[in-house]
């Protein structure tokens, strides 16, 4: 059972454009929603995270939008740069007292120059 569904699987954006990646979760016990960025040959790096008590969090060019009623959250990358080309994973934790991270399947982002 996939508890966190992520879309799209791949995304191609022009430099300067906005990249949008969406995730949906099923378990209402989740209470922490991070996004990770992974470059080839590297481990995932924490990008930004949100709690369900806020609807939006912004850090630089990266913004998380959170819709608790719809059980959806999304990552927006403004002014996308070629250096942003990587695989992005959404995740959720806090299920039933466990702090393990449940990951989406990932989105491969390509930003063309």
Partner 1 sequence: KAGVTQTPRYLIKTRGQQVTLSCSPISGHRSVSWYQQTPGQGLQFLFEYFSETQRNKGNFPGRFSGRQFSNSRSEMNVSTLELGDSALYLCASSLSVLGLRAFFGQGTRLTVV
The SS3 call for residue 83 is helix
The SS3 call for residue 97 is helix
The contact mask relative to partner 1 for 73-92 (x = CB under 8 A, - = no) is ----------------x-x-
Q: Which of 19, 104, 107, 109 binds partner 1 (CB under 8 A)?
A: 104
Establish if 100 lies at the interface with partner 1 (CB under 8 A): yes
Q: Restricting to residues 29-68, name those near partner 1 by CB under 8 A.
A: 32, 34, 36, 41-46, 49
For the chain, give the longest Cα–Cα distance. Answer: 44
Look at the block and give the residue holding tokens 């992520």: 6
Q: Which of 103, 107, 109, 111 binds partner 1 (CB under 8 A)?
A: 103
Nearer to partner 1, 5 or 17 (CB): 5
What is the C-alpha separation between 70 and 76, in angstroms, rounded?
Answer: 18
Establish if 109 lies at the interface with partner 1 (CB under 8 A): no
Beta strands per DSSP E along 39-106:
45-50, 56-59, 62-67, 72-77, 86-92, 102-103
Residues forming contacts to partner 1 in the complex (CB under 8 A) are: 32, 34, 36, 41-46, 49, 89, 91, 93, 98-106
């Amino acid at each position: 059972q996939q508890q966190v569904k992520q879309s799209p699987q791949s995304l191609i954006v022009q430099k300067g454009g906005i990249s949008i990646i969406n995730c949906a979760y099923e378990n209402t016990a989740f209470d922490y929603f991070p996004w990770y960025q992974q470059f080839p040959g590297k481990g995932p790096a924490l990008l930004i995270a949100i709690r369900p008590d806020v609807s939006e969090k912004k850090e630089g060019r990266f913004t998380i939008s959170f819709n608790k009623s719809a059980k959806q959250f999304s990552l927006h990358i403004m002014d996308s740069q070629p250096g942003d080309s990587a695989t992005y994973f959404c995740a959720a934790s806090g299920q039933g007292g466990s702090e393990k991270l449940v990951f989406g399947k990932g989105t491969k982002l390509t930003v063309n120059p």
